[in-house]
Each structure stands twice: as structure tokens, then as C-alpha cells.
């Protein structure tokens, strides 16, 4: 990328650079370079291996006829696995499910997170504690939140939600059999809403209070202030939230694993879960790897934008 444009001098106070140059002058330029190399080598090498070896293997397997249940049938398959994958209705259903999950969770968490961040920025009694309570779900492990919701909240007979519905005279909803995808979306959104809130609250702190004050003096109401000052200020933080969530939400797994196992039918099978089914339940290594390659490509489309944005931030 634009790595070459940044000089060390650009990112450090002059005083430091001067002495640093003195040092390199006395100890020789290569030593500084060598030192940098040896200090970074373990991290870089390990990450390189962690990324490249499995990635190459996934691509390689995706071109092979390789099923653990049929040890005799191996060999180069060309694009056969991809052909099977793309003509498999399960893939398109899984893509649709993935899209719905990511989309709805994003809408709920970003809109809800922004409104909550504005609210928790106001001054009220015990605000600190209320904030802490509201961000807590983010620290709950996914298997716990999924099971607590599935049983104690959404159980059709004994769950809190059905009790509330009955108390209000409404019919109880059998969440996981009649609205499986919605149920999973609610659970995942509950986990990620606090993430959006946490990031946006932090971004709110750098909002210029004088600017808000000036706008208020000029007669701007709270809604105008929100749309013309707060929202533009949060724009960058919101896009960071969207991109980071997208990368993680593309491969939601544990929540599905412990609640619906992808069902009923394929109703809650997303791309990650489909790959898991193909790999560890059907033992079709070739097919699962082809699915893996598709997942990697999808994630990379998002990642490019995120990396660019972080790079821009690194320059300033």
C-alpha cells in the first residue's frame, strides 16, 4: 500500500530523531536494521506461518477429491468441488442466511448503539453504573449467552418472554421453532449492541462540547444537533464498528451450534456452519475447503476497506 510514503521522521518528534540518527551513525546503519529485524522476526514469522500454511492448504484441498470417509478416492479434482458447491442449493440458502444475519444485526446494533451512546453521554444519576451494565453482554461467552437466551428467555413454556407475553394477554411465541432465524439474530444482536455502544461512547468523548453549545445558542434543537453535529462526528467510528462487526458476523458459529444446529432444515445454517457440516460431519475435505475459500474471499472484500481506513488513520 502506501507504506513507502511514511518516513520515520514523519511519525516522531524531532528530538528523538536527532539522537536516534546519532546512534545509528555511531553503531552503523545495518545494526539498527538488523535489530529491528530480529525483534520483529518471531511475531512476523509466526503470523506468516499461521496465515500462509493453512491458507495454501485450504486452496490445495479445495482442488482435490478428498473425503475422509472414502480413503481410496483421492486425486486432483480441478474445479469440481467448486462446481458442486455452487450448484448446491444449501450454499445459496446459507449465503442468504449469512446476509440476513449480518444485515439485521448490523442495523440493530448500529442504530441502537448510536442512540444509546447519545443517551449515556447525558448527565444523569448513576450514569457510570448504567453504562457498565449496558456493555456487560459483550463480555459474556457466546455459548453462555446463547443458552441463557434459548432456555430462560425464549423457552415457549417457561421462558421469561412467554411469561411477559402471557401477563400482557398476548399469545406466547415458540421462538426457536416458529422464528428460528429471528431468535438467533436477537441473541447475536444482544451480544454486539454493547460493542457498538462501547466504541461509540468512546468516540462521543471527543465531541466538541463548545460546538454543541454554540449550535444550541443559535437555536438548534436536540434533533438538529444529533443529525448535524453528533452523527457527522461519529461517522468514522460508525464505519469502523460496521466493518469490524461484519468480519466477525460473517462467521457466527457458537450461537448456532448450541441453539439450532443450523436447523430446522437449513433455516439457520450460515456459511460458517455449512462449512462445519461439510468438514466435520460429512468429512468432505474438498468441498469444505472450497467453502472456506469462498468465506475467505467474502471476508477480504470487507477487510480491504477496513485496512485502508486504519492505514489512513495511521498516517495522521
Residue 160 touching another protein (CB under 8 A) = yes
Rounded to a whole number of angstroms, the minimum distance from the CB of residue 265 to another protein is: 19
Binding of another protein by 306 (CB under 8 A): yes
Cβ(191)–Cβ(145) below 8 Å: yes
Question: Which residues is 206 bridged to in the sheet?
Answer: none
Q: Among 25, 43, 72, 232, which residue sits at the site for another protein (rule: CB under 8 A)? A: 43
Residues 241-300 that bind another protein (CB under 8 A): 244, 247, 250-251, 253-254, 257-259, 271-272, 275-276, 279-280, 285, 288-289, 292-293, 295-296, 298-300
* Number of residues counted as binding another protein (CB under 8 A): 118
Do the Cβ atoms of 109 and 195 come closer than 8 Å? yes
Question: In the set 30, 51, 178, 227, which binds another protein (CB under 8 A)?
Answer: 51
168 is a contact residue toward another protein (CB under 8 A): no
Please report, as residue ranges, which positions from 76 to 105 form the binding site for another protein (by CB under 8 A).
none
Judged by CB under 8 A, which of 90, 95, 100, 140 binds another protein?
Answer: 140
At its nearest, how many Å lie between another protein and the CB of residue 198? 6
Q: Which residues contact 220 (CB under 8 A, 6 or more apart)?
A: 228, 229
Provide the H-helix boundaries in the chain: 8-11, 14-27, 29-62, 80-87, 89-121, 127-135, 142-148, 160-167, 175-178, 180-204, 209-217, 222-225, 231-249, 254-259, 271-276, 285-315
Strand partners, 64: 76
Which grid cell is 150? 434459548
| Of residues 69 and 217, the one with the C-beta less far from another protein | 217
The binding track of 197-216 with respect to another protein, each residue x by CB under 8 A or -, is -xx--xx--x------x--x
Stretch that binds another protein, among 78-86, 87-95, 135-143, 171-179 (CB under 8 A): 135-143
Backbone angles phi, psi at 65, to 5 degrees: -85, 105
**Cβ-proximal residues to 273 (8 Å cutoff; 6+ apart), any chain:** 94, 253, 256, 257, 262
Sole residue written with cell 453504562: 131
In the bound state with another protein, the residue whose beta carbon lies nearer, of 104 and 292, is 292
Within 52-81, the residues that bind another protein by CB under 8 A are 53-55, 57-58, 61
Tell which one of 63, 185, 229, 237 touches another protein (CB under 8 A).
Answer: 237
Question: How far is 114 from 195, CA to CA, in rounded Å?
Answer: 11
Amino acid at each position: 500500500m502506501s507504506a513507502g510514503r511514511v518516513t520515520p521522521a514523519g511519525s516522531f518528534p524531532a528530538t528523538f530523531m536527532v539522537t536516534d540518527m546519532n546512534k545509528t551513525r555511531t553503531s552503523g546503519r545495518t545494526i539498527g536494521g538488523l535489530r529491528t529485524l530480529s525483534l520483529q522476526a518471531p511475531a512476523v514469522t509466526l503470523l506468516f506461518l499461521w496465515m500462509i500454511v493453512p491458507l495454501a492448504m485450504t486452496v490445495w484441498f479445495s482442488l482435490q477429491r478428498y473425503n475422509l470417509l472414502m480413503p481410496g478416492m483421492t486425486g486432483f479434482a480441478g474445479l469440481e468441488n467448486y462446481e458442486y458447491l455452487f450448484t448446491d442449493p444449501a450454499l445459496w440458502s446459507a449465503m442468504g442466511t449469512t446476509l440476513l444475519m449480518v444485515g439485521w444485526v448490523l442495523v440493530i446494533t448500529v442504530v441502537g448503539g448510536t442512540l444509546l451512546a447519545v443517551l449515556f453521554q447525558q448527565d444523569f444519576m448513576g450514569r457510570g453504573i448504567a453504562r457498565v451494565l449496558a456493555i456487560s453482554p459483550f463480555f459474556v461467552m457466546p455459548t453462555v449467552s446463547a443458552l441463557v437466551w434459548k432456555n430462560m428467555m425464549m423457552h415457549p413454556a417457561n421462558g421469561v418472554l412467554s411469561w411477559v407475553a402471557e401477563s400482557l394477554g398476548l399469545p406466547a411465541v415458540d421462538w426457536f421453532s416458529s422464528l428460528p432465524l429471528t431468535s438467533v439474530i436477537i441473541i447475536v444482536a444482544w451480544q454486539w449492541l454493547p460493542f457498538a455502544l462501547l466504541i461509540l461512547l468512546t468516540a462521543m468523548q471527543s465531541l466538541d462540547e463548545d460546538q454543541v453549545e454554540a449550535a444550541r445558542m443559535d437555536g438548534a434543537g436536540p434533533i438538529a444537533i444529533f443529525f448535524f453535529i453528533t452523527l457527522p462526528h461519529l461517522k468514522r467510528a460508525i464505519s469502523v464498528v460496521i466493518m469490524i462487526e461484519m468480519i466477525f458476523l460473517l462467521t457466527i458459529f457458537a450461537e448456532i451450534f448450541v441453539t439450532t444446529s443450523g436447523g430446522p432444515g437449513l433455516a439457520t445454517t450460515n456459511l460458517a456452519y455449512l462449512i462445519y457440516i461439510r468438514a466435520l460431519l460429512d468429512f468432505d475435505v474438498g468441498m469444505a475447503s472450497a467453502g472456506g475459500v469462498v468465506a475467505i474471499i467474502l471476508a477480504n472484500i470487507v477487510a480491504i476497506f477496513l485496512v485502508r481506513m486504519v492505514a489512513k488513520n495511521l498516517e495522521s
